[in-house]
Structure 1
Amino acid sequence: MSTPVNSHSVNLKFSQDIKLLLQRLAEKPLTLGDVLAETSERSFSLVIALLVLPFLFPVPPGLTGPFGAACLLLSVQMIGGRKSPWLPKKISSYKFPRPFAKVMLQNLRRVTRVLEKITRPRLAKIANNNWTWRLNGLCISWLTLLLISPIPLTNPIPTIGILLLAVAAIESDGLLMCIGYILTILISLLFAFIGYALWMAPGLLPKFIS
Structure 2
Amino acid sequence: MHLKFSRDIEKLLKQLSDKPLTVSDILAETSERGFSLVIGLLVLPFLFPMPPGFTAILGAGSLLLGLQMALGRRTPWLPKKIARFRFPHKFVLLLLSNLKRGTGWIEKIAKPRWKKLADHPYAWRFNGICIAWLTILLMLPIPFTNPIPTLAILLFVIATMESDGLLICFSYILTGLISLLFILAGDFLVQLINRIPSLMQ
Give the alignment partner of residue 12 of structure 2, picking from 14, 21, 37: 21
Spell out the pairing of 1:1-210 with structure 2 (5 A cutoff). 12-108=3-99, 111-112=102-103, 115-202=106-193
Structure 2: gaps (5+ residues): 197-201
Identity %: 58
The count of residues paired between Structure 1 and Structure 2 equals: 195
C-alpha distance in 1 between matches for 2:195 and 2:93:
36
Q: Deviations over 1:108-154 (max 9, x none)?
A: 25645654443111122321111111110001110000000111111
Q: For the Cα contact (< 8 Å) 1:19–1:109, is it kept in 2?
A: no
Q: TM-score, normalised by structure 1?
A: 0.83
Greater helix percent: which structure?
2
Runs of 4+ more than 6 Å apart: none
Q: TM-score, normalised by structure 2?
A: 0.86
C-alpha distance in 1 between matches for 2:182 and 2:125:
23
Structure 1: gaps (5+ residues): 1-10, 206-210
Following TM superposition, by how much is the alpha carbon of 1:51 offset from its aligned partner in structure 2, in angstroms? 1.1
Q: Deviations over 1:33-74 (max 9, x none)?
A: 233233334241111111112212222222111110000010
Q: Deviations over 1:151-175 (max 9, x none)?
A: 1111001111111111111111111
